[in-house]
A = this chain, B = another copy of it.
Amino acid sequence: MRTLIDELPASKIREVANAAMGRSDVLAFWFGESDEPTPQFIRDAAVRSIGEGETFYSHNLGLAELRDAIARYVGSLHPAVGSDRIAVTSSGVSALMLAMQALVGAGDEVVAVVPVWPNLTAQPVILGAHVTRFPLRPSADGAWRLDVEGLKRAVTDRTRVLLVNSPNNPTGWTLTCAEQESLLAHCRSTGTWIVADEVYERIFFGAAGEGAACAPSFAFGEAGAGSAAPSFLDIAGAGDRLIVVHSFSKSFLMTGWRLGWLVLPAGMAPALAKLIEFNTSCAPVFVQRAGLAALAQAATFVPGLVERLKGCRDTLLPRLAALPGVQVATPPGGLYAFFRVPGSDDSLAFAKRLVEGAGLGLAPGAAFGPEGEGWLRWCFASHDPRRLVEGVDRLAAFLAL
């Protein structure tokens, strides 16, 4: 086996979850998904498709009608995008891997804004690229901030890809439109590609101001009452070196379906079709039908989900913040509270003790890179916010020991 594969870190989240093996009394908030199953209307569409025998190979880039529907959906939140710029993928993580394969090879330099979901930085390593980690920094109030000027100094004409996940998993940090404009202008000057993981764009609770989108007319368009976090799609053109990665997982409670998409520059879809052929060939048609059903009700479903998630956030955060010694900010986007408590300096050991001693399952910040060490990630997506209250009670009791 390749040494670098052997050396890739295994998931520290799974390591904590394994510590709970065989226990049914653990309140688990470690994974990045809701405890709600996929809505019935989405499941029904897949069941119909399976019943009709749609069990054959399909187009590499996805069903034409799904590419059209995705283009309309994206265009309801951002400036119009043609369906020829959409590629359907077998999950958001597959979409990211495809983008990486298209852009980086051995020796190429990738600059990644961190801490971040570990898959983003592992993929270029698998391809032999070199990853430079550019850290967000936590303020005393618990919010994480980007030194935009520092990042621009780190991205040079030798940088092949700038990798940004905003709204960010795990910190909730979200790029402002002004920051995106500054980064895009810089990357145009260095010839650097931007790969933007925007899978949490709809899970955005930001008020007007710092987090607001460039183009509010798009943010409240055809898709209905919802809004979206600032996106590079609001400011970039079809000719920019920009690939935006999306997923059905978070906005439609579809984590287990493995369906995502890419928004590509004009003319790049044929290359992605080849890469999809060589990676997974196509997404199952019945899964794509589920995606079509989801998008058809996006205008009503997503804002309702976001409202419920906001309720979850606003249940968890004040209670968490009220615990003695906790450092935490209310995240403008995403599914997570990212915080530290007295004693959590070794976040993996602390998370394991928390499982054993309090029956509370959180993700260790170290899972997202050394920059997250000392912090803990709590996924607040739950059908029943009382679970969050019970979780805080367990944490409080544990801290008081």
Pairwise interchain contact B256-A55, C-beta atoms closer than 8 A = yes
Pairwise interchain contact A57-B255, C-beta atoms closer than 8 A = yes
A1 to nearest B CB, angstroms?
5
Pairwise interchain contact A278-B102, C-beta atoms closer than 8 A = no
Asked whether A37 and B10 contact (CB < 8 A) given A2-B102, A93-B281, the answer is no
Pairwise interchain contact A1-B280, C-beta atoms closer than 8 A = no
- Which of A267-275, A317-325, A389-397 lies at the binding interface? A267-275
Pairwise interchain contact A257-B126, C-beta atoms closer than 8 A = no
The answer, yes or no, to whether A209 is at the interface (CB within 8 Å) is no
Asked whether A278 and B106 contact (CB < 8 A) given A33-B57, A255-B56, the answer is no
A117 to nearest B CB, angstroms?
11
A112 to nearest B CB, angstroms?
14
A251 to nearest B CB, angstroms?
14
Q: Which residues of B contact A10 (CB under 8 A)?
A: 270, 273-274
Q: Which residues of B contact A107 (CB under 8 A)?
A: 106
Query: A47 CA to B106 CA in the complex, in Å?
Result: 43
A263 to nearest B CB, angstroms?
15
Known: A2-B105, A93-B280, A284-B284. 13 other contacts (CB 8 A): A2-B103, A5-B275, A11-B274, A33-B56, A33-B57, A55-B253, A56-B255, A56-B256, A93-B277, A97-B279, A119-B278, A126-B275, A258-B280
